[in-house]
């Protein structure tokens, strides 16, 4: 597999990032994941705008290649050959020779890009596939989850706790209200009304989430952005998770709670996925 690192295309095993890069010493960087279908970058401008926003919010300078990212991604797509790919773009504040919380203002940002095969959504291939198994957890993450930072320990910590059963996704909640998944946004359905938590809860402004909301409006489907209580979550007719690599995927289990069994052909998640 080929990657791109600070101006060069390299084989993955040849790419080396300094241990003094602030992405290593402080998790001081941001990232973006962009799907590509048949060589077409999906919602590219929206992803790039969010990446630029993350850089601005963290006071990290744009790398020199920023305005050429689309050409770099197309070249990497050609080199890695898979028909459908997901691109990971990481930009850190740069390499600092002496570890210090205060970074030098003259640091040059580091740019790393990789791609991998993007498997087809299993719920497209077979909508009768068993839904995702999830668990609820108190949200212990920092208060700026609207920034897509590389410091994701709060998202992945319990995934590595051997005392927990392995699940497909974790659903975070705080103060009795649902926020989002550890790597996804969340939607529920109750009596044909679609609900999703508002961005005011400092959740990630998901690109796929926004795309789904536009489609709901376009097709005249009833939806609201509002706080979702834990009680409402467990009483929902449907729960879905969305992300750039998941697209839309239904949930079947939340801890030990089983969601209602609904024929996918009669479900709203399937209708929305078909419009995707």
Q: Where are the alpha helices (DSSP H) in 142-267?
A: 153-156, 207-218, 230-234
Residue 185 burial (10 A CB sphere; 0-12, 13-18, 19+): buried
Q: How many CB atoms lie within 10 A of CB 31?
A: 18
Of 79, 115, 131, the C-alpha closest to 238 is 131
Task: Exactly one of 81, 108, 117, 148 is catalytic; name it.
Answer: 148
Of 113, 105, 99, the C-alpha closest to 68 is 113
What is the rounded distance in angstroms from the CA atom of residue 59 to the CA atom of residue 71? 25
Tracing tokens 């995702």 back to the chain, one arrives at: 132
Respond yes or no: is residue 148 known to be catalytic: yes
Q: How far is CA 179 from CA 47, 206, 207, in A?
A: 21, 12, 16
What is the rounded distance in angstroms from the CA atom of residue 36 to the CA atom of residue 22? 29
Instruction: Give the sign of the dihedral formed by CA 208, CA 134, CA 221, CA 84.
Output: positive
Are the C-beta atoms of residues 207 and 46 closer than 8 Å to each other?
Answer: yes
Report the catalytic residues.
148
């Amino acid at each position: 597999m080929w990657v791109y690192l600070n101006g060069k295309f390299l084989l993955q095993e040849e790419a080396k990032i300094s241990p003094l890069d602030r992405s290593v010493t402080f998790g001081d960087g941001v990232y973006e994941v962009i799907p590509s279908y048949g060589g077409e970058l999906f919602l590219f401008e929206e992803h790039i705008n969010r990446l630029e926003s993350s850089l601005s919010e963290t006071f990290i300078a744009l790398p020199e290649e920023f305005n050429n990212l689309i050409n770099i991604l197309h070249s990497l797509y050609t080199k890695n050959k898979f028909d459908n790919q997901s691109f990971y773009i990481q930009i850190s504040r740069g390499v600092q020779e002496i570890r210090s919380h205060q970074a030098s203002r003259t640091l040059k940002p580091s740019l790393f890009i990789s791609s991998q095969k993007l498997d087809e959504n299993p719920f497209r291939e077979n909508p009768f596939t068993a839904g995702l198994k999830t668990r609820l957890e108190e949200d212990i993450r920092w208060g700026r989850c609207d920034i897509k930072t590389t410091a994701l320990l709060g998202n992945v910590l319990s995934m590595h706790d051997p005392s927990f059963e392995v699940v497909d996704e974790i659903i975070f909640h705080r103060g009795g209200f649902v926020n989002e998944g550890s790597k996804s946004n969340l939607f529920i359905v109750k009596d044909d009304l679609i609900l999703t938590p508002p961005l005011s809860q400092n959740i990630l402004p998901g690109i796929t989430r926004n795309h789904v909301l536009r489609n709901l409006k376009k097709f005249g489907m009833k939806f609201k952005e509002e706080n979702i209580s834990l009680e409402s979550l467990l009483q929902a007719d449907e729960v879905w998770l969305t992300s750039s690599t998941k697209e839309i995927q239904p949930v079947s289990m939340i801890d030990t709670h089983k969601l209602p069994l609904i024929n996918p052909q009669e479900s709203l998640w399937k209708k929305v996925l078909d419009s995707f």
